[in-house]
Amino acid sequence: MVVGQIDGHVGGLVLGLGVVALVALAGAFVARMRQWRFPYPVSFWYTVNWLYCRLFFRLQRVGPCTVPAEGPVIVVANHTCGIDPLLLVASIPHRVPAFMVAAEFSNPPIGGRVMRAIECIPVRRDGQDTIATRAALRHLKAGKALGIFIEGRIPRPGEVAEAKDGATVLALHSGARVVPAHISGTLWDASLLRSFFRPHKARVRFGTPIDLRAYAGRHADKETVGKLSTMLLQTIRELGARS
């Protein structure tokens, strides 16, 4: 009888502590949500993503976020695994960049509404998608933020990928500043989906914003664009060497 009473007290204590923990977590969630200056649905998703990245992926931003608070900007990063867009978003506290997303991944059953809410742009992989390019330019000329992975794909471990020219072309035609970002601490996986459930130790470091407007117009020939793209990728890799 006494043992049963003790077990009952312990069970009640555990339940009470559980309720207190849930209330505290809900309070922290609401308080965090109020910090973001986004529309309510985006703010809710941002908070969920921020907690997910911080708690499960152990995300830390190394150094300050250098993404300008206003005006067109392209955040250009290396690509390590499927969670990279979530990590970049969670590392920028004052803006939510849209992303150029491969067409086959642009409307998933889970997350499709979020992609539409933050204005992600579906793009074909053949590099000839003028509709996506025009959509990205409209997005930037409206003063918004865009995220692009400069390698265009996820390289395998040890593979050295070359820079794609998309980010450079968009910057030259829109006047957007470019913010390099380096992602590290993630685990490569052949499965995009599986990377969402692996316990990474992610790190994101932002570099100094880069203004490419001096190269716009007649100076933006193919050779110049290629050199600028290579420079951006090298800048990103140098950020990684400092992490």
Position with higher pLDDT, 85 vs 21: 85
Per-residue pLDDT at 100: 86
Render 46-72 in DSSP notation, one character per residue.
Answer: HHHHHHHHHHTS--EEES-----SSS-
Instruction: Taking residues 2-13, report their average pLDDT.
Output: 51
Residue 236 has pLDDT above 50, yes or no: yes
Residue 177 has pLDDT above 90, yes or no: yes
Average pLDDT value for residue range 175-189: 97
pLDDT in tens, 137-159: 999 999 999 999 999 899 999 89
Give the pLDDT band (50/70/90) at residue 18: low
Specify the pLDDT at position 102: 76
Query: Which residues are paired to 62 by β-bridges?
Result: 205
Distance between CA atoms of residues 240 and 180, nearest Å: 11
Summarize the confidence of residues 38-47 as an average pLDDT.
Answer: 83
Mean pLDDT of 227-241: 96
Q: What is the pLDDT of residue 101?
A: 81
* Predicted confidence (pLDDT) at residue 184 exceeds the cutoff of 80: yes
pLDDT in the model for residue 231: 97
pLDDT, mean of residues 96-102: 88
pLDDT of 193 reads 86
Share the mean pLDDT of the chain.
Answer: 85
What pLDDT is attached to residue 238? 97
What pLDDT is attached to residue 58? 96
Q: What is the CATH number of domain 56-242?
A: 3.40.1130.10
Predicted local distance difference test score (pLDDT) of residue 240: 94
Residue with tokens 């300050």: 64
pLDDT band per the 50, 70, 90 thresholds, residue 129 = confident
Instruction: Supply the pLDDT for residue 15.
Output: 56
Coil, helix or strand at residue 5 = helix
Helix runs in the chain, H state only: 2-35, 40-55, 84-91, 112-117, 130-141, 166-174, 222-242
pLDDT in tens, 56-71: 999 999 999 999 999 9
The single-letter DSSP state of residue 15 is H
Residue 31 has pLDDT above 90, yes or no: no
- Name the pTM for this structure: 0.83
Whole-number pLDDT of residue 190: 87
